[in-house]
Every structure is written in C-alpha cells, then in structure tokens.
Amino acid sequence: MTIKKHNIEKDIAAIVVPEPDAEGLTTLLEGVDATGAPAVLPVVTERPLTIYLNRQEIVTTMTVGDQPQEMAVGFLFNQNMLLSADDISAIDYDDELGVVVVRTAHETDFEDKLQKKIRTSGCAQGTLYGDIMTRFDAVKLPAEGRISTRQIIQLSKTVNMMPSLYLKAGAIHACVLCSGAEPLIYCEDIGRHNAADKVAGYMLLSEISGHDKVFYTTGRLTSEMVIKTVLMDIPILISRSGFTEAGVRLARQAGLTLIGRARGSRFIALAGAERIEFDAPEPDMLDDEEQMSAQRKLYGAKR
C-alpha cells in the first residue's frame, strides 16, 4: 500500500465522515424485546486487529474494523513509537489475518526500547508511559485558540445529528477533529481510544496541524484522552461525558481547554476557560432533552 496524502486543509467540508451502511461494520441480529416479541437489531462488529511496527508485534486491540491503517499509524504516534509521517515507508494491511504492519525506512530506536521494556515488564504499554509523559511535558499548546459558547452548542448538535454508526447501532464512540463548530475528520470505534487514534492517523498522514482545531469526543475526559489530545497539539477538548481528576490535572498542566458534560446548551469547563468566549446562546437552540427527542423522531432510533 502507498500512503494516502489527503489535501484536507483546502476543503472546508468534512472529508472523513462515518459510513454507517458500509459493508462489514454492522450485522442484523435477531432477538426478542421486553414483551417477548421478535426484534431485529443492527449490531456493531467487534474484531481483533494486531498492530506491528516493522517486525515487532506491538498490540492486539478490538476494533469495529474500518480505517485500520490510520488507526495503526495514530496508535504508534500517540504511543510515542513514531514521531512523524516521514518515517513511514509503507503500511500493509491484511484484512483476513487482521494484521496491519507499519514499516519505517530505518528500524527506529523505539523497537530497541520496546524489546528492553518487554523483557523487564509484563506489558510494554504500561512501561512506555514514562516516554510518553516526557513528550507530553514538552508540548506547549498555542495560547491563541478560541471557541465560543455558540460554537460549542452548535458542534454538539452537529455531531449528534450526523448519520453515524452510533445512531444506527449504538455501542460505539466517536472522536471528531473540528475547525470551530465544523467537523473535519469524524471517526468511530468501539474503543474511544481507537477512534482518537484513527483521527491522529489521518492528521499525521495528511499533514493536518492540530494547533487551530478543536477535538470532540463522546467518551469520558480521562488522562489518556487528555494526553492524546495534547500530543496531537490540539488546544481544546470537548466531551458530552464527564471528567476524571487526573484528566483535569493533566489538562491544567498542559494548558488544554477541557469542556465536559456538553449537552444541549449546557457544559462545564474545568481547565483553560480563558479560551472560551461566552456569547449568549441563541434562544431557539434546543435543550438536550428536546434534542434527543428530535433525534429519535428523525432516525427512529430506540435508545
């Protein structure tokens, strides 16, 4: 496979959107509902994908299965095993085996490090944490990023109303790279970290900078999500879900704007509120329960 280089910055419209009807992402399964009547439900796929860096097996993760190349590249970048797209010479993917191999022109010192850590520890992922934190500590997020209350409300609404695997089948998380309230790269996966890695992979392969963007996730604002966002150089992170204490602490340390519980016209910011412009929300903005009810009517989703 040759490496795709998108030219995203030139288009304003979203260039990666969910394709909920793509083959292989959902299966119709039969069961019964609470009355005992037959029910048929679209259910998301969950399959193992093993990521290699050159000849080194790195991790096996459960994924919905789309965008394996981008996910592998984003994962290796967010794990500090790849520093830029320039290192990549090829990405090979075998759908049948569920294996993706990211190849670099020269073997990286990360493979050496990895081998050493694997020999001394049960799980390389935990012990590479120190390296990631060294890079995390070095990131200086740009001070000038801005977002307004209206944009936050509009963005949540746009993400929630776009056709997606979530609206079709549920049981999935979304991560969306945005320019203001405009979605650019919208990825979904059963693991919220996989969805974030897919976005990171697209950004790296297409040379999209994060410094003037906004990151939206449906998942909780944990330390890992904050670390990934900061490593992607994105100054603003928004979620409809809640916070953990470590997530907030790391966001404050890095100067990341951290906005949680963003539903309808409400949200809470626990870090970096200086980037928020508090313009009054438009009076006709739906509140979250109205919005959910409107969604149900639109899509007939039973959730």
Q: Is 285 exposed, middle or buried (0-12, 13-18, 19+ CB in 10 A)?
A: middle
Location of structure tokens 């704007």:
257
| Residue 226, both tokens | 């904050």
CB of 91 to a copy of itself, least distance (A): 17
Subset of residues 51 to 70 that bind a copy of itself, contact rule: CB under 8 A: 56-60, 62
Among residues 13, 23, 35, 283, the one that binds a copy of itself under rule CB under 8 A: 35
If the CB atoms of residues 61 and 206 are measured against a copy of itself, the closer one turns out to be: 61
How many chain residues bind a copy of itself (CB under 8 A)?
Answer: 71
Residue from 149, 154, 158, 179 binding a copy of itself (CB under 8 A): 149
Site for a copy of itself in 150-179 (CB under 8 A): 152-153, 169-171
Chain residues 200-239 in contact with a copy of itself, contact rule CB under 8 A? 220-224
Q: In whole angstroms, how far apart are CA 52 and each of 66, 91, 210?
A: 17, 10, 26
User: In angstroms, rounded to a whole number, what is the distance separating the alpha carbons of residues 195 and 193?
Assistant: 5
Toward a copy of itself, which CB reaches closer, 44 or 232? 44
Smallest gap from residue 236 Cβ to a copy of itself (A): 14
Report residue 269: phi and psi, to 5°.
-110, 125
DSSP 263-274: ETTEEEEEE-GG
Q: How far is the CB of 23 from a copy of itself (least distance, A)?
A: 13
> Which residue lies nearer to a copy of itself by CB, 4 or 47?
47
Task: Rule CB under 8 A: choose which of 230, 238, 248, 256 binds a copy of itself.
Answer: 248
Q: Looking only at residues 268 through 297 of this chain, which bind a copy of itself when binding is defined by CB under 8 A?
A: 268-271, 273, 276, 278, 281, 289
Tell me how far, at minimum, the Cβ of 12 lies from a copy of itself, in Å. Answer: 26
- 179 or 241: CB nearest a copy of itself: 241
Q: Which of residues 88-147 bind a copy of itself (CB under 8 A)?
A: 114, 118-119, 121-127, 129
Name all contacts of 132-140 with Cβ < 8 Å and 24+ positions apart.
132/78, 132/79, 132/80, 132/227, 132/231, 133/227, 135/80, 135/231, 136/227, 136/230, 136/231, 136/250, 136/254, 139/230, 139/231, 139/233, 139/254, 140/255
| 300 is a site residue for a copy of itself (CB under 8 A) | no
Q: What is the C-alpha R_g of the chain?
A: 20
Q: Residue 163 or residue 281: which is nearer to a copy of itself going by CB?
A: 281
Nearest CB to a copy of itself, comparing residues 268 and 298: 268
Cβ proximity to a copy of itself, 6 vs 244, nearer residue: 244
Nearer to a copy of itself by C-beta: 203 or 270? 270
DSSP string, 165-210: HHHHH-S-EEEEEEETTEEEEEEEESSHHHHHHHHHHHHHHTT---
**Residue 172, number of CB atoms within 10 A of its CB:** 24
Name the helix (H) or strand (E) containing 57: strand 56-63
Considering the complex, what minimum distance in angstroms separates the CB of residue 138 from a copy of itself?
21
The count of residues in the chain is: 303
